[in-house]
Amino acid sequence: MITSTKLRTAVGATAIVLLTAGPALALGPFARSSGVLSDLAPAASGPFDGASARVQLVESSGASHAVLTVKGIGATAEGQTFGAHVHDGPCIAGDGASALGHYNSHVHAGLPAEISDQTEVWLDFTVSNGEGTGNANVPFVPESGSRSVVIHALPTNPQTGTAGARLACLTVAW
């Protein structure tokens, strides 16, 4: 009985620490960003003009879970699927090239690039009621840096990882 009581106390104390310490713990997201999307195709109006997004990456035992939510998408995109990925470089409006290529865990490890949804963070989403959510689970934790999520014009090709023109982006730095 005494041991059991002590255990319960310990668990209770841990719970209090979790509530008060918040972001310092590995259990929370290590990267989070939200805001109005930056336009990477300013020459033409598109469904992501004025749309906003939120991205969150959470680590768990050396793996990562990523979630992208986009809101305020124009009606012309309703029902369409768009490619979206974590890119190596930052998001700079009007300059899609600055986002560089996809963050690829093999490339960062000095290995030959293997392109898949397990070496890169693919967050494709389908638009419904002006919103879309993409999810990814990958067996690595991306290295810190000033990176971005880029939204493309087409769904991601699973063989090549390509997804057409770069339309919009959001910086994610950690």
Chain contacts with Cu ion (rule: CB under 5 A):
85, 150
Instruction: CB nearer to Cu ion: give 73 or 91.
Output: 91
Torsion sign (Cα): 141, 142, 145, 151 = negative
Instruction: CB nearer to Cu ion: give 60 or 162.
Output: 162
Instruction: CB nearer to Cu ion: give 73 or 150.
Output: 150
∠ CA 117-78-80, nearest 5°, is 30
CA dist., res. 113 & res. 126, Å (int): 27
Give min distance, CB of 60 to Cu ion, in A.
24
| One-character DSSP codes across 66-119 | EEEEEES--GGGTT-EE-EEEESS---TT-GGGG-SB-BHHHHTTSPP--STTT
Residue number with the shortest CB distance to Cu ion? 85
Q: Within 13 A of 135's CA, how many CA atoms are on the CB side?
A: 2
Give min distance, CB of 103 to Cu ion, in A.
9
- Tokens 């699973």: give the residue: 158
Instruction: CB nearer to Cu ion: give 28 or 116.
Output: 116
Give min distance, CB of 10 to Cu ion, in A.
45
Give min distance, CB of 118 to Cu ion, in A.
16
Instruction: CB nearer to Cu ion: give 60 or 138.
Output: 138
Give min distance, CB of 158 to Cu ion, in A.
13
Which helix (H) or strand (E) segment holds residue 19: the answer is helix 2-21
* Backbone phi and psi for residue 10, each to the nearest 5 degrees, phi listed first: -60, -45
